[in-house]
Amino acid sequence: MARCKHALADVFLLAADASRLPFRDDAFDSVFVRHAVHEMPRPLRLDLLRDARRVCGQSGRVVVLELDRPPQRWLRWLLGLWFHYWVPPPLNFETRTRRDLERRGVTREVREAGFTEVRKLSRYAGTMQVVEARP
């Protein structure tokens, strides 16, 4: 579908396993992971983050954008309705992996993947988090 978009005509597109990227070590300055890790079981999340670290090398950074757990109960309830978290697995395949990530925390998993400088920014009334990490 992306190849059909005129705006992407000059962009190199590649379909690959994000936990085994087909790039050399230290190939990029930055890797951006957007709304993906909550859909993965923990071993796959850690593999993805480790490989992102590998392709960034010692001077790069990884930025992870994910939903966050807002402090207000009513806002958590509203997000649950919006994203159908009330629908049980297996109908909602994200529920189990999202709850696991929420319980463990994105920053903790990023550290477990080998990053030492980890900074979390919470945005939009606590509904979104941006985690920036460097080796």
Closest of 9, 12, 31 to residue 21, by C-alpha: 31
Alpha carbon distance, N-terminus to C-terminus of the chain: 35
Greatest alpha-carbon pair distance for the chain in Å reads 46
Closest of 134, 115, 14, 109 to residue 3, by C-alpha: 14
Tokens representing 31? 């890797």
Q: Which domains does the chain have, with CATH numbers?
A: 27-134 (3.40.50.150)
Residues of the chain with pLDDT under 50: none
Please say whether the beta carbons of 37 and 101 come within 8 A.
Answer: yes
- pLDDT recorded at residue 89: 65
- pLDDT recorded at residue 62: 97
